[in-house]
Amino acid sequence: MAQKKLNILLIGYGKMGKAIHDVLLKRGHTLCGKIDIDNINELSAYNSTNVDVAIEFSHPSSAFDNVWYCLTHQIPIVCGTTGWLDNMPKIIDYCSKNKSSICYSGNYSIGVNIMFALNEYLAKLMNTHSEYDATMHETHHVYKKDAPSGTAITLAEGILKNNTNKSKWTINRDQLKPDTLFIGHDRIHNEPGIHTVKYTSPIDSIEIKHTAFNREGFATGAVLAAEYIYDKKSTQIYTMYDILNLQKA
């Protein structure tokens, strides 16, 4: 069956928003509006009668308000903004009480989400091999505001859930203890994103790594998520595991 052509609202029109705009047009959808910092007041003009789905890549300071607006106005929403997850319990509570269409991911790249699944499986395999110390590193462009990245946090959580050798993560070397997962981070001009998980022993190391070449992979995943959730309702938040039919470890 042919994919329904959607009216998509973009909330946040930076580099990612522009990349998503290109992909949604390539896939036959319509951009029904774009909201950015200079016209945020225009968001009130949109609701479920003129938007099929919204895609939100804005700023940590505004993401919660944008998501809340869409949920309370019955607009299905795909959110990729990171750095605001302290407010996520409020969104989870809303969804548990009011069936909503929302997909959240710290990274919409198909390749990264396959790495998420590999990371969880590898963490489980390494659980009985405490001689291997797990560490992580991520690199992004200099304009990324939060550190570590949402993708790095997701990878770290996947390790903590599946490997009892680590109980918490940190970006501060002076807080390192044997049960602490260290996440190194760099900000380099024009680097779309590199994430590495490494297990090192005195005799060898095992490493999985994802390198993004550009933003198109992230944008494509976000549009795929929009195509998946626009007509769905759930008491839970959808993730890219649902969109890609990936299995957790």
Active site residue 144: yes
Please report the pLDDT score of residue 20 as a whole number: 97
Active site residue 198: no
- Tens digit of each residue's pLDDT, the chain (249 residues): 457 899 999 999 999 999 999 999 999 999 999 999 999 999 999 999 999 999 999 999 999 999 999 999 999 999 999 889 899 999 999 999 999 999 999 889 999 999 999 999 999 999 999 999 999 999 998 877 778 988 899 999 999 999 999 999 999 988 899 999 999 999 988 887 899 999 999 999 999 999 998 889 999 999 999 999 999 999 999 999 999 998 876
**Set 21, 29, 140, 210: catalytic member:** 140
| Lookup: tokens for 14 | 């930076």
Q: Answer for the pair 24, 8: CB distance below 8 angstroms, yes or no.
A: yes
Q: Answer for the pair 135, 200: CB distance below 8 angstroms, yes or no.
A: yes
Q: In whole angstroms, what is the distance from residue 216 CA to residue 220 CA?
A: 6
Q: Answer for the pair 196, 45: CB distance below 8 angstroms, yes or no.
A: no
Other Cβ atoms closer than 10 A to 145: 12
Q: What is the dihedral of CA 69, 72, 73, 78, to 10 degrees?
A: 60
Q: Does the predicted TM-score (pTM) go above 0.85?
A: no
**Set 26, 73, 99, 144: catalytic member:** 144
Please report the pLDDT score of residue 1 as a whole number: 43
**Chain CA centroid to CA 149, Å:** 9
Q: In whole angstroms, what is the distance from residue 64 CA to residue 91 CA?
A: 8
| Lookup: tokens for 75 | 């607009």
Please report the pLDDT score of residue 2 as a whole number: 53
